[in-house]
Amino acid sequence: MNDMTSTDPQSASRFNVLLTQDRQHSAGHWTRQLPRLLEPQGVSAYLARSGREAVDMVNDLEIHAALIDLATPQNAPPRNTYPESLGSASSRQSSGGTSGGKSGGGGEAQGLWVLEVIRRLPNRPPVVVINSRAIAPKQAQRFLNDALRLGAFSVINRPSDIEDMLAVIRRLIDRQYEGAWPSN
C-alpha cells in the first residue's frame, strides 16, 4: 500500500482505491490482501484507520473508489493499539478534530457517517460499503437500506472471499468508468 500523502506522483496515472478498517487485521483479511493483489494491475490502495482520515484522503487525493467498512471509527483509535509496522501498509496520522458527525466509538456504524460526508463532497468517489460485523438480520437490512439511500454503489456483507471484493471492484469500474481506469 502507498503512503497517504497528497503529493504521491503515481496517483495521477493509477486507479486510487481508499480502504477503511476498524482495527488492525491479520494478513488474511481483505484490507491486507486486496492492495497486494491490485498493486501489479496499476491500483494504488490507501488505508484509513478512521472516518476522519478517509474524508481527508478523499479531499487530498484523487480517489476513484472507496471501500468503507461499516465499523470504521470516526476518529482514529489510540496509536498504541496498532503495531509500528503493518507490513507494506502505511497509515496517515489523523488530524483529529471534533466537528460534525457522531462521536467515535460505541456500537454505531460510523461507516455510514463516512458515506454521508463523502457523498456531499464535489469530488466524491463511488463507495462500496462493507458490513464486516456479525449483526442481526433486521439491523443488517437497516444498514443496507441506509447505505443505499446515502448513495452507496454496492453493499457487501462479510466478504468471506477476496474474489467477492474483486468482483465488486470490476463492476464498479465497468459501470462508473466504462471498463477502464479513469483518465486524468
Residue-range domain boundaries for the chain:
9-77+85-94+104-177
What pLDDT score was predicted for residue 172? 94
What pLDDT score was predicted for residue 109? 58
What pLDDT score was predicted for residue 184? 54
* Separation CA 46–CA 156 (nearest Å): 19
What pLDDT score was predicted for residue 81? 39
Protein fold of 9-77+85-94+104-177: Rossmann fold (3.40.50)
Phi and psi at residue 19, in whole multiples of 5°?
A: -120, 140
Mean pLDDT for back-to-back runs of 10 residues, the chain (184 residues): 41 81 72 88 90 92 93 67 32 34 46 90 91 76 89 83 86 90 68
Please report, as a single letter, which amino acid is at residue 5: T
Q: Could you please report the per-residue DSSP string of 94-126?
A: P-----SSPPSSSSS-HHHHHHHHHHTSTTPPP
What pLDDT score was predicted for residue 55? 92
What pLDDT score was predicted for residue 105? 40
- 106 burial via Cβ count (<10 Å: 0-12, 13-18, 19+): exposed
What pLDDT score was predicted for residue 32? 83
Smallest CA-to-CA distance from 63 within 53, 71, 73 is with 53
What pLDDT score was predicted for residue 160? 65
What pLDDT score was predicted for residue 182? 76
What pLDDT score was predicted for residue 163? 86
